[in-house]
């Protein structure tokens, strides 16, 4: 049996399959925008929600107000993280002294 489908039909079928599987397995919906909620950002940064709210209150983290809701652009958060990276110091170039461990003296 041969079925001829156009690309648009295949795409439509694939989208329906993904929707059905997402419902069955409660998969996260694909992000159309890279906006994150407080909860999503807290999960992304592995911090508590309160930590995020404190950074927003003090204008220490880039955010967007959508009405009364706070949202975060993933690209801006990634840049914010990069700006706070602590670079590694140059590798140790000195010599290490060896410790001699023996029986304690009586």
Mean pLDDT, all residues of the chain: 83
Cα separation, 21 vs 69, whole angstroms: 30
Contact predicate 42/51, CB 8 Å: yes
Residue 23 to residues 6, 10, 31: CA-CA distances in angstroms? 26, 20, 16
Q: What percent of the chain has pLDDT over 90?
A: 46
pTM above 0.75, yes or no: no
Residue 36 to residues 55, 79, 104: CA-CA distances in angstroms? 15, 15, 60
Query: Higher pLDDT residue, 96 or 30?
Result: 96
Q: What is the pLDDT of residue 26?
A: 67
Domains and CATH numbers, the chain: 31-84 (1.10.10)
């Amino acid at each position: 049996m041969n079925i001829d489908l156009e690309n648009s039909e295949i795409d439509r079928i694939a989208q329906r399959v993904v929707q059905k599987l997402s419902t069955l397995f409660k998969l996260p919906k694909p992000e159309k925008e890279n906006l994150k909620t407080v909860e999503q950002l807290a999960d992304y940064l592995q911090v508590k929600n309160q930590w995020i709210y404190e950074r927003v209150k003090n204008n220490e983290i880039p955010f967007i107000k959508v009405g009364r809701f706070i949202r975060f652009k993933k690209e801006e958060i990634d840049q914010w993280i990069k700006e706070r990276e602590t670079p590694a110091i140059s590798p140790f170039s000195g010599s290490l002294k060896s410790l001699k461990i023996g029986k304690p003296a009586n």
